[in-house]
Amino acid sequence: MPKIRAVIFDYYNTLIDIRTDEEKPEVYRFLSLYLQYYGLSMNEQNLRAALDHEKKQYLKTKDEAYPEIDLEVVFSSILEKEGICNPFGAESCCKLFRLLSRERFQLFPDSIPVLKEIKRSGYPMGVVSDAQKVFCLEEGEMLGLNQYFDHIVLSTQFGFRKPDRRLFTIACSMLDVPPAQAVYIGDDPRKDVGGAKKAGLCAILVNRNQMNLETEIKPDFSANNLWEAWDWIKKGG
């Protein structure tokens, strides 16, 4: 196996311990109340229906195998159709939607210590994540993560999601390293391992709960935590 020269991470549920529930009624109730300040009178049921409709319409515009929704564009469309042209309306709706749906949001205990070790060892680092650019970068900043990465690649920046191999090759290009000399660390067998391996990267599956995760494409290494992943990298894979 070629020598590993760069390390690329997934964000959510690999570095960030997060749980969200976007189906909670209170998400739409409080969001509909908030929108009254913009002059929008829409109850929670109608707001949910409008959001679902605009997501479907948005996806129809994407000719991708794994299309990504841009939530800010979706909310902009809803507000525009209601005659609301506040330039900050869609962004604030996205962030409130995220805040209301979040149930857990914290770092895993090993995230920062391992990132410090990898940084100290001189490896360029990047992120490839299925995430909304309207709040992901701010969340990374809140948790002190962004400082460790040379480049952050988000699905909404390009309109397609993992396991699309292009996200991984884009990150490798930004880091100026061939895919065969990069390793990707993630928690999802299909999206993370499958996507990275198809793009030519090594892949480490982090299985913190030691679940039986079936995957068509096998990772190069399965780790119970980030320390085990880092030890494997240090030993040359």
* Residues sharing a CB contact under 8 Å with residue 128, sequence separation 6 or more, in sequence order: 8, 9, 10, 153, 162, 167, 168, 170, 171, 184
CATH of the domain at 225: 3.40.50.1000
Same domain, 91 and 197: no
Q: Are 92 and 169 in the same domain?
A: no
Q: Does 115 share its domain with 212?
A: yes
Residues 122 and 221 in one domain: yes
Q: Do 98 and 111 share a structural domain?
A: no
Answer yes or no: is 11 within a domain: yes
Let me know if residue 1 belongs to a domain.
Answer: no
Residues 74 and 121 in one domain: no
pLDDT exceeds cutoff 80 at 33: yes
Could you read off the pLDDT of 140-169 as tens digits, one per residue? Answer: 999 999 999 999 999 999 999 999 999 999
Domain that holds residue 70: 20-103
Per-residue pLDDT tens digits for 119-147: 999 999 999 999 999 999 999 999 999 99
Same domain, 171 and 206: yes
Domain check: are 221 and 181 in the same one?
yes
Provide the pLDDT for residue 85: 82
pLDDT 10s digits, 79-122 = 999 988 887 899 999 999 999 999 999 999 999 999 999 999 99
Note the Cα 150 to chain centre separation in Å. Answer: 16
CA angle 194, 180, 110 (to 5 degrees): 65
Domain count, the chain: 2
